[in-house]
Structure 1
Amino acid sequence: MVWTWRFETADGSAVSPQDDGGTFASRGDAESWVGEFYPDLADQGVDQVSLLEDGQVVFGPMSLHP
């Protein structure tokens, strides 16, 4: 299984941050990464993220704003 994040603006349009985290071997690794880098992502115009497992959304979209 491969875990990745999809990054979007508030209206659902795709956005590409400078660091997208690449791929992760586990959901926990992916969630830890976004937990650490969400302020940087928000500064780059990412409003929400969705977690994908092998290309299928399993969680989200989740807002990066309070």
Structure 2
Amino acid sequence: MVARPQWEWHLHDAEGRLLERPVSPIFTTQYDAEVWLGEHWRALSEQGVVDARLVHEGRQASPTVQLPSLA
């Protein structure tokens, strides 16, 4: 069995707390994770997500992404 890399977004609120919902899917490539965020950032922002941190195998893999507020 081949282990596939896992990428996921950790989504945080304005206080910096990791949100339980919404939940990021698990991705097998960084590209797929970044495309997903690009397609869903508006809905995530509406749900209270202020920033997203891409995590690969348990470690932050890129700078934190600030989501614009739609309010």
TM-score range, shorter chain: 0.7 to 0.9
Bigger relative contact order, structure 1 or 2 (CA pairs below 8 A, ≥6 apart): 1
2:27 is paired with a residue of what secondary structure?
A: coil
**CA 1:6/1:31 → structure 2, altered by over 3 Å: closer, same or farther?**
same
Aligned residue in 2 for 1:4: 8
Q: TM-score, normalised by structure 1?
A: 0.87
Percent of residue pairs bearing the same amino acid type: 28
Match of 1:53 among 26, 51, 56: 56
On the 8 A contact 2:51/2:64 being kept in 1, the answer is yes
Between structure 1 and structure 2, the one with the greater Rg is 2
1:13 aligns with 2:20: no
Q: TM-score, normalised by structure 2?
A: 0.81
In the TM superposition, what is the alpha-carbon distance from 1:9 to its structure 2 partner? 1.3
- Structure 2: stretches of 5+ with no match in the other structure: none
On the 8 A contact 2:10/2:24 being kept in 1, the answer is no
Count residues with an aligned counterpart: 65
On the 8 A contact 1:49/1:60 being kept in 2, the answer is no
Determine the C-alpha separation between the residues in 1 that align with 2:30 and 2:13. 22
- Shift >4 Å, 4+ stretches: none
On the 8 A contact 2:6/2:26 being kept in 1, the answer is yes
